[in-house]
Amino acid sequence: MSVHLSDCLNCPDEATFAARLKAAITQLPPGSLPLQQATTQGGLVDDSQITVTVLDSHRDDDGIVARIGVFFDEVVGGCNCHDDPICTHCYCTLQVNIDARSGKTCFTYITTDTT
């Protein structure tokens, strides 16, 4: 799936960029972010209600590179006496690259916080 976040390229300041980026990412269809790599119990990603935090960003002639924190849920099936699925909260860090010319956006998994 191709993601374009061109609206994030024309922000006048960091605060506006962070707000637009967070809003755009939370509106992406499920499965758009590489969150499966951050699951810790082999479950399924529930990215229907994610929370995004912009950790840092910088702009150059090629575009924008940002690091974001993403909170989401992992659904693990068959983990208790009744085989009902359980939901665990997860967090990971992703890198976001937005191309200056096309707005094409790539998300790269960086790390999972297991503390």
pLDDT of amino acid 1: 62
Looking up tokens 């998300």, which residue turns up? 107
pLDDT of amino acid 115: 52
Query: At residue 114, does pLDDT exceed 70?
Result: no
pLDDT of amino acid 111: 86
How does residue 81 score in pLDDT terms, banded at 50, 70 and 90? low
Give CA–CA dist 89/67, Å, rounded.
20
Buried b (16+ CB within 10 A) or exposed e, 39-76: beeebebbbeebebebeebeeeeebbbbbbbbebbbeb
What is the per-residue pLDDT across 2-47, written as a single tens digit (0 to 9) for each? Answer: 799 999 999 999 999 999 999 999 999 999 999 999 988 877 898 8
Percent of the chain with pLDDT over 90: 68
Residue 32: other Cβ atoms inside 10 A: 16
pLDDT of amino acid 41: 81
Residue 18: other Cβ atoms inside 10 A: 20
Tell me the one-letter amino acid at 74.
Answer: E
Give the residue-averaged pLDDT of 54-69: 96
Query: At residue 98, does pLDDT exceed 80?
Result: yes
